[in-house]
Structures are given as C-alpha cells and as structure tokens.
Homo-oligomer: A and B are copies of this chain.
C-alpha cells in the first residue's frame, strides 16, 4: 500500500522537478498519441459515418467484424507492424522501426476501429427526420456528413476520447515497435512497464499519475465541446 502514497508524492516531484527522462517520455507519448488520434479520427469518422448512415447489404456483418477489431491485442498489432517495418520486412527501407512514427502507425490501427465502431453506432441512431431534412434543404454529400456529425458531436467526442484513452494507455505496440528506447521511443506506458518490472512500484504509480494528469488536461481542454 505504501508505494501508492509514495507514488503520488513522487509524481508531484517528477512533474515539478522536470525530470529529464520523464519529460522525454511525456513528449514521446504526446507526439505519438496526437499523430495516431489525428489519423484515426480523420479516417474513422468518415468510415463510421458511412457504415452508420447507409443501409447496405452485409452491413450487419461488417459491424460484427468491426466489433471484432476492437479486440485486436496490442502486441498482435505490434507484431504485425513490426513484420512490415523491420529490416527484413517489405517497408524495412523506411527505417520506421524504433521510431515514434512506427508507434503512431500501430496506434492508428488500434484506434481506428474504436473511432469507427462508436461513430457508426451513434450515426445509426440519427433521426431519420434529420436525414430527410438535410436532403430536402439541398445539402450535398459533404454537407450531410459534416452536419450529421456535428449534430451528434457529443457522441463523437466520446468516440474520440475512448480511442484516446486506449492509445494513451497501450503498451504492446510501443514496446514492440518503439523498442522502449530511453530518451527516444520510451513512452510513459513503456516506462511504467519497465519500472514495474524493476520492482520500482512507486515509480510505476508515479508515472501512471503523470499519464492520468496528461489525460485530464487534454479532457479538460476538450470539455468546452461538451453539452453545456
């Protein structure tokens, strides 16, 4: 139990003292999560919209597959990405292994089904009358997408925030693809895993608190988007 208290105290120390290795991990975490969120939201919103909005043959099956993709283990994604970007892999030339970009690619694959599935299910719930109204007001395809998504913006926010939580806390991809290299690809979660493995539980807790603090700040700055 003590290490939890110690961890919280240590977290404050880390944040205040500006511990170099902590800050590089914070930066790495922010970098990869921002890139992967931008990519996965950018791709997931329209995909989720299309799946949720239109009725087509096989929609139910597609939804089942999408739900299954929510259960992609991170290590699995990590391995798959590794297979592609390792030296021997088809994309080995790009030198993406052990880089933040590599991690971001994996995390995008992780977050994309989450954003897509939740968006689809929210869009599916959209009032038929809204669709008819938009069409009857002369909205083109883009306007329909944009307006519908804006109508359900609180739900979309939840999709994004859920995916963000997933990305922020994943370890498997960062470890496998990033290699947990100190000062470079070490993210907070891989650092937590390391400290825990070292038996430095208090440090693990401290870094966990740092991560949650980041999430809190991000969510706080998003909360202006919430329903007033």
Partner of A205, one of B76, B161, B216: B76
- A205–B83 Cα distance when bound, in Å, is 11
- A217–B220 Cα distance when bound, in Å, is 38
Kindly state whether residue A109 has any CB partner on chain B within 8 Å.
no
Contacts A74-B169, A204-B76, A212-B71 known; A154 to B124 CB distance under 8 Å?
yes
B125 touching A154 by the CB < 8 A rule? yes
* A219 to chain B: closest residue by CB: B67
Q: Please state the number of chain copies in the assembly.
A: 2
* A228 to chain B: closest residue by CB: B60
A60 touching B193 by the CB < 8 A rule? no
Within 8 A of B (CB), among A23-70: 60, 63-65, 67-68, 70
A204 touching B75 by the CB < 8 A rule? yes
Kindly state whether residue A176 has any CB partner on chain B within 8 Å.
yes
Within 8 A of B (CB), among A78-121: 78-80, 82-84, 88-90, 114, 117-118, 121
* A155 to chain B: closest residue by CB: B121
Partner of A1, one of B72, B84, B168, B176: B84
A68 touching B219 by the CB < 8 A rule? yes
Hey, what's the 0/1 contact readout for A193-228 against B, CB within 8 Å counting as 1?
Answer: 100100001001100110110111001101100111
Chain A interface secondary structure, helix, strand, loop or mixed? Answer: helix
Would you list 11 pairs from A and B whose C-beta atoms are within 8 A, ordered by A residue?
A: A3-B79, A3-B83, A67-B219, A70-B166, A71-B165, A71-B214, A74-B171, A75-B189, A79-B204, A121-B154, A124-B154
Contact residues in B for A75 (Cβ distance below 8 Å) = 171, 189, 192-193, 196, 204, 208
- For the side of the interface on A, what is the size category? 35 or more
B68 touching A212 by the CB < 8 A rule? yes
Kindly state whether residue A147 has any CB partner on chain B within 8 Å.
no
Partner of A125, one of B65, B125, B204: B125
A76 touching B211 by the CB < 8 A rule? yes
CB distance from A211 to the nearest CB of B (A): 6
A215 touching B70 by the CB < 8 A rule? yes
